[in-house]
Amino acid sequence: MTTLTIDLPDNLAQDAGLLDQDAIETMLRENLRRRSVDELFDTMDRMAAVNEPAIMSPEEVADEIRTMRAEQRAKNAS
């Protein structure tokens, strides 16, 4: 367990619920969840901003895999 020591005015600590360990834990967990969601949406926004088409379509990828497997089978048959 980690122990933190901070100096705050009493009324601020009381008003913010910082004198209750469960309240602090709840606030920290909510903040971490919120940051994770924010990061997800930021990443999605960056992905949506990319105007380039996919390098290969799913069909092209499947064709490449089939070709590679056929080449491997032919190589192993020799």
pLDDT string in tens for the chain (78-residue length): 888 888 989 999 888 888 888 988 999 999 999 999 999 999 999 988 988 877 888 899 999 999 999 999 999 887
Count of structural domains within the chain: 1
User: Is 2 part of any domain?
Assistant: no
pTM: 0.52
| Residue 6, both tokens | 């901070």
- Residue positions counted in the chain: 78
pLDDT at 45: 94
Is the CB of residue 64 less than 8 Å from the CB of residue 71? Answer: no
Rg (CA), the chain: 27
Q: Residue 51's domain spans which residues?
A: 10-77
Cα separation values, 2 from 5, 9, 25, 43, 68, Å = 10, 22, 12, 31, 53
User: Is 3 part of any domain?
Assistant: no
